[in-house]
Amino acid sequence: MSSLEKCLFRSSAHFLIWLSVFLIWSCMGCLYILEINPLLVVSFAKIFSHSVGCLLVLFVVSFCHLLKKLFSPMYILASFVIN
């Protein structure tokens, strides 16, 4: 894995982690605004955090596959031949 791939992987992982934290905090904030006790919706929070985690894993895996394809020698050679 090249240094560019590592850098892109780390930055996208950090972004997605902070995005998921922000989404969870915003959902909890909405519950407080609506005067709903957050302890009553613990199951909702667990399901939501699990689904965000699954989406994060799927995004990272697909992003890694895309980077492998983009930086593979055959793809680079084929792009020069076609153009």
Question: Tell me: the pLDDT tens digits for 5-57?
Answer: 666 666 677 777 777 777 777 766 665 555 555 555 666 667 677 777 777 78
pLDDT at 8: 60
Indicate the pTM of the whole model: 0.39
Q: Does residue 63 have a pLDDT over 70?
A: yes
Indicate the length of the chain as a whole number. 83
Return the exposure string of 12-33: e unless at least 16 CB atoms fall within 10 Å of the residue's CB, then b.
beeebeeebeeeeeeeeeebee
CA–CA separation, 38 and 15 (whole Å): 26
Q: What is the DSSP letter of 71?
A: T
Note whether 42 and 14 are within 8 A (CB): no
Residues in contact with 21: Cβ distance below 8 Å, sequence separation at least 6, in sequence order: none
pLDDT at 57: 81
CA–CA separation, 44 and 31 (whole Å): 11
